[in-house]
Structure 1
Amino acid sequence: MTLMRSSLDTTTPEFHDNHAAMVDKLDQLTAEHAKAVAGGGEKYVARHRERGKLTARERVELLLDPDSPFLELSPLAAWGSDYQVGGSLVTGIGVIEGVECVINANDPTVKGGAINPWGMRKGFRAADIAAQNRLPTISLVESGGADLPTQKDIFIPGGRTFRDLTRASAAKIPTVAIVFGNSTAGGAYLPGMSDHVIMVRDRAKVFLGGPPLVKVATGEESDDESLGGAEMHARTSGLADYLATDERDGIRLCRRVIARLNWRKQGPEPARDYADPRYDEEDLLGIVPADLKIPFDPREVIARVVDGSDFDEFKPRYGTSLVTGWAQLHGYPVGILANARGVLFGEESQKATQFIQLANQTDTPLIFLHNTTGYMVGKEYEQSGIIKHGAMMINAVANSKVPHLSVLIGSSYGAGHYGMCGRAYDPRFLFAWPSAKSAVMGPAQLAGVLSIVMRQGAERRGQPYNEEHDAAMRAMVEGQIEAESLPMFLSGMLYDDGIIDPRDTRTVLGLCLSSIHNGPIAGADGFGVFRM
C-alpha cells in the first residue's frame, strides 16, 4: 500500500483560524438552507397541514428506505432572486427498495407548487442527472402548473420537462408519478407521460383545463371530480394505474412499483473490503485558508477522503502544481486531479492530458479538486506554448468519456475552471465547499484590467485620467465580482449541485459514484487532434 503521511498540524494558530472561518461559513450556509426547508412559511405550511397533507420533504422521507441517505440537489436554487430559496421544488437522489432514484417533489406551500423559472431549471438539472446516470425518476406531484406571471420565461423552455420523461422511457429508464393534489394544464402531462401513475383518492385532480376554463371554452358545466378526479382516472380514463386511499398508501404503492422493476446496475461492483481514511474528517475544516491566496496542500484533503488514505501519485516530480494519482473511494477505483499551487503551467497541462487518457484507457472515473487561478500568463509562458498546452488539457477533459466528479474547494478562475472540468464540461456532479470562489478572474485582477483599459483609453483621447473616479470604479467592481464569486450566489444560479460541508465530501462522492454505476462505465475511443 502507498499510504499517505499527513503533515497537517492541527495545533497551529493558522489551522484554528482556518477552522473558525469555515465554521462561520457553514453557519451562514445552514441559515440559508433553513429558508428552503421553511417552504412558503409558517402560515402556508400550517394551512397545508390543516388539510391533512404531508409536506414535500415528509413525502420524500417516507418514500426512502429507512435510515438511507438523501443527496439533495440544488437546495439553494433561486438564492438572491425574488423567488423562494429552493425554487418551489425539492430534488435529490435517494434509495427506494434498494434502487437509487432521482426524486422531484413539488412544494405546495410555495404558491401551490407552481413552477417558476428557477424551479424549472432545477428540474432540468435533475433530469440531466437521471439521464446521464441511468436513474429512475419519481415525481411527487402537487402543482398548479406554471407560475403564470412568469409564463414568458417558462412556457417555451418548459416543454423540455415532458420531452425528458418520454426520452427516459424510450431509454428504458423508469418514471413514476404520485399525484397528491392538483396537476393542472401542462402539469397534467407529467403523469400522462410517466410510465407508472399513482393517484390519491379525493385529493388528486388531473385535467388539462379546470371547471372554470371548461365553462369559458365550451360552456360545459363540470366539477373537479368528474372532470379530473383520481376515481374517474382510475375507473374511466385509465390514466391512473393505481388508486391510493391516502398519501401514505400512495407512497407505499410507489415503493412496490420500484421493487418490481427488476432493476440492475450496469457498472462494475465496488470492492467490499475497503478501509476508512486514516485521518480525521474533522481536519478538513482547517485545511483551506480563509485567504485563498495562501496555498495549501491538496494531499491533506485526499488523505481524508480516499479509502485507507492510500494514494498512488502519478508523475509526482513533474508539473508539481497539479497533483494526480490513483485511489479508491468507497470501493470504487478513481483517478484524482487536484490543484496544488493554483497556477497551471504547460507541464501541468501535459501531465493532466496524459492522466486523463490513462483513466479512459482503464474506464476509471475522475475526481477534480479545484483550487486554480487559471493558466499562467506572460511572455515567457506564451512563447513556451501555454495556449496549446492548456488547449490540450481542455480537449482531454471535453472528450473524456469516463464519469467526472468536480469539487470546488478553493479558487476556480478563468480557463483553469474549464480545464478542471467546470460546469460547462458536463461533470456528472459538481459540488462546492463554502470556501470556494469562481469567476473569470480574481476581483482585484479584474478591476485592475478594467482600470488599465480605461486609463489607456483616456491617454488615446488626450484626456486627463480621473484617479478618484478610478479608485471608486475599482472598489465597486471588486465588490461586485467578490459577491458574484461566492458559492451561495453560484449555487443560486445552479452553477453547482450544492454546497457541502467539507466533512461530508467522502460521503457525497461515494453516493455520486454509486449513482453513476447504474450505467455502464466506458472510456473514450479518441480525443480528436492534440496541438503538440
Structure 2
Amino acid sequence: MTTLKSTVDTAADEHLANREAMLAKLTELDAEHAKALAGGGPKYVERHRKRGKLLARERIELVLDQDSPFLELSPLAAWGTDYQVGASIVIGIGVVEGVECLISASDPTVRGGASNPWTLRKTLRANDIAIANRLPVISLVESGGADLPSQSEIFIPGGRVFRDLTRLSAAGIPTVTAVFGNATAGGAYVPGMSDYVIMVKERSKVFLGGPPLVKMATGEEAEDEALGGADMHGRQSGLADYVAVDEVDALRLIRQVVSRLNWRKHGPAPAAEYAEPLFPAEDLLGLVPTDLRIPFDPREVIARIVDGSEFDEFKPRYGDSLVTGWARLHGYPIGILANARGVLFGQESQKATQFIQLANRADTPLLFLQNTTGYMVGTQYEQSGIIKHGSMMINAVANSRVPHLTVVMGASYGAGNYGMCGRAYDPRFLFTWPNAKSAVMGPAQLAGVLSIVARQAAVAKGQPYSEENDAAMRQMVETQIEAQSLAPFLSGRLYDDGIIDPRDTRTVLGLCLSAIHGAEVKGAEGFGVFRM
C-alpha cells in the first residue's frame, strides 16, 4: 500500500485556532455528558444506594470483562427535550467472557427507570444494532414501566421492543435478562421473551399487574412476593431460570450464562498484526476549520486513523472532490469515501458508485467520512445530468450490502447526507465530531431561499415588500436552523450513535468493526437500475 504523507503544520496559527475551538466544544459536551452520568441527581442516587443497590453503570462495569472497553451509544439521547439527558437508560457494546454483547441497563434513579419516548427510541436503535451485527443482548432491568404521562407516544410503538426480542431469539442471537427490581406491566414481557432470566432474591418484582391493579381489577388482596417475587418465579411460575442471592451474584450468573453460549463470530477475523498510524491522533483536533465552508484534505484524517497510514487511493485524478480508496483499520480491510471539497459533482458520483460496487464485490466494509454541502446545483450541472449522477450514487449506497460506518467530520447538508450514507441509509454505526452540522441546507441559504420566495409572492400579488420584516424573518430562520443543525441537537434525537472526540475516532471505529464482524460480511449481488 501507499503510505500517506502529511503537510499539517501543527504550530500554524490556523491549526492552533481550530484546535482551541474543538477543545472548547469538547468541554461543552463534557458538561452535557455529566448530566447523563448524574442520573436522577444526588437525592435519588443516595436513596438508591441506601437500598443497597448498584447504579446502572456500576452494574455494567461489574458484568464486563476486567479492563475491557465499553462503547456507550447515544449518551445524549433526549438532549434539548423535557426529559433527562440519557433517557433513563445506559446502552452500549462491551465484552463479557470474551463475547461482544449489546448491554442495556435501566437507570432507576431517573423516575424509577420509567421509559419515556426517547428511552424507547434508544432501545429500538440498540435492538437494530444487535440484530444487524449478531450481538447477544444483556438487559439489566429495574424499571417502573412506561412513563404514564407520555404513554400515548410509547404504548403502540413500544410493542416493537418485544417483537425485537423474539426475532433476536429466532435468529439464534441470545438474549439474557437480569431483573434487579421492578419489571411491571409491559416491562414484564422483557424477561418473558428472553432466552435466559435471572432474578434477585427479595428484590425482583415481575408481574403484569401490581397489587393495586390486581385489587382494582379483581378485588384480590395480593402480596408483592407471592404475586411476582423472585422465589415464586423460581419455584412456581418458572419465569426465573436462576435466582441470585444479591446483585453481584446476579452479575456473576450473567457471565456464567454467556460463558456457556459457545458463541462464534461469522465474519472474518482481522489481521493478527498491524501497525499504528504514523501521525498522532492529537493532530485531528486542529484539522477542521471553524468555518465549515472552508474545505480541508481528508487524507490528513485518513493518515491518522488507518493502519500504518497506508492508503491505496482509487481514481485519484477523477472526481477529485471525493477521495476513495482502500486501507486497513485495526487489522480489518475497509474501503473509504471521504469528501475533499464539500460539493459533489457528476464525476464524484460516478466514481463513488463504481467504488461501492467494487467494495461489495470484495466483501469489504465501507467507511464514509462526511464533510459535504450536497450535490452541485446550477444550469450547467443540471444539463450535464447531476440528478442522474447523484441518484446513481444514492442508489449504490442504498443497495450496498457490506457494512457501512459513517463519521460526520464537518458539514452534512442536503442530499449529500444521503449519498454519504446518513442515518436514513442505515449505516451500522454513525458518529459525529463535536463541530458537525447537518440540515437540508446552510442557515443563511435556507433563510435566503425563503426570502426570495416571499419577495416573489409579494410582487405577484402587487403588494409592497417590507425589507425590515424580511431582515427579521431571515434572522429568526437562521437562528432556528443553526440551533437545529448542531451536533448535540442531532445526537439528542438519535440521528447519530454519539458525539466522539476526534482523537478517539480510530478506537471507536475499531470497536465498531470488531462488532460488525460478529455477522457475515457479504456484498450485494445486484443493484437497482442505474440511470445512465
Equivalent in the alignment of 2:451: 451
Equivalent in the alignment of 2:326: 326
Are 1:73 and 2:73 counterparts?
yes
Question: How far is the alpha carbon of 1:2 from its aligned partner?
Answer: 0.8
**Map 1:217-236 → 2, pairs under 5 A:** 217-236=217-236
Give 1:409's aligned amino acid.
Answer: M
Distance in structure 2 (CA, Å) of the matches to 1:411 and 1:518: 31
Distance in structure 1 (CA, Å) of the matches to 2:528 and 2:471: 47
Give 1:200's aligned amino acid.
Answer: V
SS of structure 1 residue aligned to 2:72: strand
Give 1:419's aligned amino acid.
Answer: G
Q: Sequence identity of aligned pairs in percent? A: 76
Are 1:369 and 2:369 counterparts?
yes
SS of structure 2 residue aligned to 1:353: helix
Distance in structure 1 (CA, Å) of the matches to 2:448 and 2:222: 67
Give 1:58's aligned amino acid.
Answer: E
**Once the two structures are superposed, what CA deviation does each residue of 1:75-129 show, in whole Å capped at 9, x if it has no partner?**
0000000000000010000000010000111000001000000001000000000
Distance in structure 2 (CA, Å) of the matches to 1:239 and 1:317: 63
Equivalent in the alignment of 1:346: 346
SS of structure 1 residue aligned to 2:270: coil
Distance in structure 1 (CA, Å) of the matches to 2:158 and 2:105: 17
Are 1:291 and 2:291 counterparts?
yes
Distance in structure 2 (CA, Å) of the matches to 1:530 and 1:157: 36
**Once the two structures are superposed, what CA deviation does each residue of 1:411-450 show, in whole Å capped at 9, x if it has no partner?**
0000000000000000000000001100000001000000
SS of structure 2 residue aligned to 1:159: helix
Distance in structure 2 (CA, Å) of the matches to 1:522 and 1:383: 37
Question: How far is the alpha carbon of 1:404 from its aligned partner?
Answer: 0.2
Distance in structure 2 (CA, Å) of the matches to 1:434 and 1:297: 18
Question: How far is the alpha carbon of 1:316 from its aligned partner?
Answer: 0.5
SS of structure 2 residue aligned to 1:2: coil
Give 1:109's aligned amino acid.
Answer: T
Are 1:134 and 2:134 counterparts?
yes
Distance in structure 2 (CA, Å) of the matches to 1:397 and 1:336: 13
Distance in structure 1 (CA, Å) of the matches to 2:394 and 2:227: 55
Distance in structure 1 (CA, Å) of the matches to 2:531 and 2:222: 68
State the TM-score, normalized to the length of structure 2: 1.00
Equivalent in the alignment of 2:355: 355
How large is the Cα RMSD of the aligned pairs? 0.5
Are 1:244 and 2:244 counterparts?
yes
Are 1:308 and 2:308 counterparts?
yes
**Map 1:179-198 → 2, pairs under 5 A:** 179-198=179-198
Distance in structure 2 (CA, Å) of the matches to 1:259 and 1:422: 36
Give 1:431's aligned amino acid.
Answer: F
SS of structure 2 residue aligned to 1:273: coil
Equivalent in the alignment of 2:208: 208
Question: How far is the alpha carbon of 1:166 from its aligned partner?
Answer: 0.4
**Map 1:105-144 → 2, pairs under 5 A:** 105-144=105-144
Are 1:409 and 2:436 counterparts?
no
Equivalent in the alignment of 1:460: 460
Question: How far is the alpha carbon of 1:381 from its aligned partner?
Answer: 0.3
Equivalent in the alignment of 1:519: 519
Moved over 2 A (4+): none
Question: How far is the alpha carbon of 1:220 from its aligned partner?
Answer: 1.1
Distance in structure 1 (CA, Å) of the matches to 2:137 and 2:528: 35
Give 1:331's aligned amino acid.
Answer: G
Are 1:8 and 2:8 counterparts?
yes
Question: How far is the alpha carbon of 1:261 from its aligned partner?
Answer: 0.1
Equivalent in the alignment of 1:282: 282
Give 2:31's aligned amino acid.
Answer: A
**Once the two structures are superposed, what CA deviation does each residue of 1:182-212 show, in whole Å capped at 9, x if it has no partner?**
0001100100000000000010000001111
Distance in structure 2 (CA, Å) of the matches to 1:473 and 1:301: 39
Question: How far is the alpha carbon of 1:273 from its aligned partner?
Answer: 1.4
**Once the two structures are superposed, what CA deviation does each residue of 1:246-281 show, in whole Å capped at 9, x if it has no partner?**
000000000000000000000001001100000000
Question: How far is the alpha carbon of 1:331 from its aligned partner?
Answer: 0.2
Structure 2, unaligned runs of 5 or more = none
Give 2:203's aligned amino acid.
Answer: R
Distance in structure 2 (CA, Å) of the matches to 1:119 and 1:528: 36
Are 1:53 and 2:48 counterparts?
no
Distance in structure 2 (CA, Å) of the matches to 1:189 and 1:228: 13
